[in-house]
């Protein structure tokens, strides 16, 4: 398949390389000018999109997605599919899908879970919104770049699934970190805390698979001084997207709002944006020790 790939950063580059290694012809473009050797380099986003059967984008936010879409949609061949793997606001995803449909193109919003490690290993999970025909076209590419792709329904529903999932993740990680900090102050050993909670009703992914306490549970960023698997700044981005969507949908999400405020303080006032989002534990553990 002939593929255009726009946005070759920490996530996009390994995804594009995996597609090229599988035998697809991949033409790449990034504003930074960095294109992996396995790809053909384009001089512009429109050039990367021209003649491609599928154009994949991995971009920072909805405003940039809208701008790139305005450039590439006129250059794309009718019947081609725009596969956006960025995490953006639902409104932008749906607006771009509508523009693609008007141009005779398919469109999918397909944000990912799995981080840079999953991008390199080809084990990402894709949450996909868009029509069935476009999903069928992209399915072989999902199989190369990831381990699972879930079709969540109409345009924008991939983004909806991603932000709802990450709102749960942000809230449960804060609760897990608060509980460990409380256990410390009550004299409860962290390993004992893990042994109880990980097999009891407090079980969660944040506790069992990504424990924020160093030396407890499976290896996690906590064991690497909180070097990010998923940076706190990215969690804040996703939480803010969830609250924007909640406001637009008139949904009541008080726990999501509280988590957003806490991560906002952690990232923007305490300068921890480049730490893993589980670094909330030493933050809470240090309170009251002055």
Query: Which long-range contacts does 133-137 make (Cβ < 8 Å, 24+ apart)?
Result: 133/106, 134/81, 134/83, 134/106, 134/107, 134/108, 135/108, 137/53, 137/54, 137/81, 137/106
Residue-wise DSSP of 143-199: HHHEEEEEEEESTTHHHHHHHHHHHHHHHHHHHHHHHHHHHHHTT--HHHHHHHHTT
Q: Is 162 a catalytic residue?
A: yes
> Tokens 């154009």 identify what position?
55
The Cα 156–Cα 229 span in angstroms is 26
Structure tokens at 70: 């305005």
Say if residues 240 and 183 touch (Cβ distance below 8 Å). no
The Cα 124–Cα 15 span in angstroms is 9
* Catalytic entry in 78, 148, 162, 237: 162
The Cα 230–Cα 130 span in angstroms is 27
Residues annotated as catalytic (active site), given as ranges: 162
């Amino acid at each position: 398949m002939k593929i255009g790939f726009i946005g070759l950063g920490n996530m996009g580059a390994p995804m594009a390389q995996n597609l090229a290694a599988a035998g697809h012809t991949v033409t790449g473009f990034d504003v930074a000018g960095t294109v992996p050797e396995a790809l053909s380099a384009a001089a512009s986003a429109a050039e990367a999109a021209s003649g491609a059967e599928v154009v994949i984008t991995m971009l920072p936010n909805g405003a940039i997605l809208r701008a790139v879409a305005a450039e590439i949609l006129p250059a794309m061949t009718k019947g081609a599919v725009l596969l956006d793997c960025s995490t953006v606001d639902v409104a932008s995803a749906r607006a771009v899908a509508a523009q693609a449909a008007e141009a005779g193109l398919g469109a999918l919003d397909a944000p990912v879970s799995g981080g840079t490690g999953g991008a390199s290993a080809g084990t990402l999970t894709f949450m996909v919104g868009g029509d069935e025909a476009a999903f069928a076209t992209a399915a072989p590419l999902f199989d190369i770049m990831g381990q699972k792709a879930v079709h969540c329904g109409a345009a924008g529903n991939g983004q909806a699934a991603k932000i709802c999932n990450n709102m749960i993740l942000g809230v449960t990680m804060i609760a897990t970190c608060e509980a460990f900090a409380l256990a410390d102050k009550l004299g409860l050993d962290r390993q004992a805390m893990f042994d109880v909670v990980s097999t009891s009703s407090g079980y969660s992914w944040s506790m069992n698979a990504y424990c924020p306490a160093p030396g407890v549970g499976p290896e996690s960023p906590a064991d690497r001084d909180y070097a990010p698997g998923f940076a706190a700044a990215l969690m804040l981005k996703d939480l803010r997207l969830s609250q924007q969507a909640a406001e637009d949908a008139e949904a009541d999400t008080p726990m999501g709002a509280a988590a957003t405020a806490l991560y906002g303080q952690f990232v923007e006032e305490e300068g921890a944006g480049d730490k893993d989002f589980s670094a909330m534990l030493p933050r809470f553990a240090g309170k009251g020790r002055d």
